[in-house]
Amino acid sequence: MASLKDISAVCKVSVPTVSKALHGACDVSEKTRRKVLKAAKELRYPVGGLGEELRDPGGGEEKTGNLGILLPDQMGSDEMHTVTDIMAGFREASMRAGYDLTVLNTDGSARNQLTYYSRCLYRHLDGVCVFRRRSGRYDPQLLELICSGLPVVTVGQVFDGHTAVLPDAANDMRLLLWYLARQGHGDIAFIGTGAWEREARNMALFRRASLFLGLELHEEWIRSAAADRGDAGADKEVEGLIAEMRALLRELTQFSRPPRCFVVSGDRGAMAFGEAARREGLRIPEDIPAAVFEGGGICRAMRGALTSVCVDCGAIGRAAAEGLIASILQPDLSVGEQILVPGILLKGESSERRTADSPPQKAAEDGNPEENAYKNAGPERN
């Protein structure tokens, strides 16, 4: 069977333009549309099944009660837990509102010849939730979907004019550092282990939270164990990450004034840090107390052992479903807002309060009205 690429080659237009022409998008000229339809007919492309019979998402047709989820283009093993939990929250809220759910993948295989937008129309979706794209590359199909007029809510990524659901990372970092300072840890280091773009953000959040709480900031203690740039750091082999973590531990603990506590990012960072410490003969928390920022399924499974601020995946999924349904039912009231979902503080043994040689810092222990607010900044679970 002919594909959209075949029609694109004949008409000398892009694949997204072919898709929009087949579905009557308003930003395609009538001349181009006719040319595309003629080529589709000559190539025996099933226009009647995939184009003319499909509804126009902005045309006011009866709703189908079907929502879609567009999965990430790349997922590591640790991210599978996060995505699964977000989907569970999304499913819970959508089913409660009487909607069905369709999952769309982005594997780029030959059987997926239709664009994301075309597949949404083919399945008669009322709206779609889009997960953050990790690849960082230009994705014309995603832009076509975002600009199509179909209700779209994004998770972890922001597009103008569309609702985005995001972890409240700034508040979560302040909450974690506030709790560590309250436990008696003043000299805190940060080690990022994800993609560079994400860790650059986390490092900035760490600096801002430290200054906000009055903690002493040492720039030489803010490091990344994923020295690669781009997404290569996120896909690093476990042993390579452990080796980098061991090198950082040796360097940081040999300073004339070493850090007394470590914050690492993500599940992979937590596991690599623990193994690196063991191989270096260091005990957690006796020698190096530690906590995890933006923990996932592994950190939640180790509740009671690891101190962490975990992303509340279920709440993110529910917020995404509720935001998408609201934009479907009341499109005239829909605005491109950012919904920030606070994380969950899990208290564990890894950051046990230390002895008197490491007293709490005055600013965090005494507190002021702004700092006291972080006692209720997010749900705490023992």
Cα distance between residue 21 and residue 12, in whole Å: 13
Cα(316)–Cα(266) distance, integer angstroms: 17
Mean pLDDT in residue range 189-196 = 86
Residue with tokens 């995939």: 50
More confident residue, 303 or 215: 215
Helix (H, G, I), strand (E, B) or coil at 100: strand
DSSP-derived 3-state class of residue 263: strand
How far apart are the C-alpha atoms of 322 and 167, rounded to whole Å? 16
Helix, strand, coil distribution of the chain in percent, nearest 5:
45, 15, 35
Q: Label residue 366 by pLDDT band (50, 70, 90).
A: very low
Average pLDDT over residues 56-61: 47
pLDDT at 291: 95
CATH 3.40.50.2300-classified regions of the chain:
169-312+342-381
Location of each CATH 1.10.260.40 domain in the chain: 1-43
Average pLDDT over residues 359-367: 39
Is the Cβ–Cβ distance between 316 and 93 less than 8 Å?
A: no
Cα-based angle 340, 344, 347 (whole degrees, multiple of 5): 155
Which SS3 state, helix, strand or coil, does residue 145 take? Answer: helix
pLDDT for 353: 67
Judge whether residue 382 has pLDDT over 60. Answer: no
Q: Tokens standing for 201?
A: 């953000």
Helix (H) or strand (E) holding 286: none
- pLDDT exceeds 60 at position 60: no
CATH for 169-312+342-381 is 3.40.50.2300
Per-residue model confidence (pLDDT) at position 64: 83
Q: Does residue 21 or residue 68 have the better pLDDT? A: 68
Class of domain 1-43: mainly alpha
Q: What is the CA angle 33-36-40, rounded to 5? A: 135
pLDDT value at 49 more than 50: no
Average pLDDT over residues 128-146: 78
155, 320 Cβ separation under 8 angstroms: yes
Cα(22)–Cα(37) distance, rounded to whole angstroms? 7
Residue 121 corresponds to which tokens in the numbers above? 């129309």
Confidence tier at 112 by pLDDT (50, 70, 90): low
d(CA 304, CA 296): 14
pLDDT tens figures, 231-275: 444 444 678 889 999 999 999 999 999 999 999 998 888 999 999
User: What are the tens digits of pLDDT across the range 288-339?
Assistant: 999 999 887 777 777 778 899 999 999 999 999 999 999 999 888 878 889 9
pLDDT-derived band of residue 107, with 50, 70 and 90 as boundaries? low
Evaluate if residue 371 carries a pLDDT over 60. no
Burial class (CB in 10 A: 0-12, 13-18, 19+), 143: middle
- Cross-strand partners of 196: none
Q: Are 67 and 31 in contact (CB under 8 A)?
A: no
Name the helix (H) or strand (E) containing 262: strand 261-265
| Residue 161: per-residue pLDDT | 86
CB atoms within 10 A of CB 175: 25
Tell me if 154 sits within 8 A of 130, measured CB to CB: yes
pLDDT number for residue 17: 82
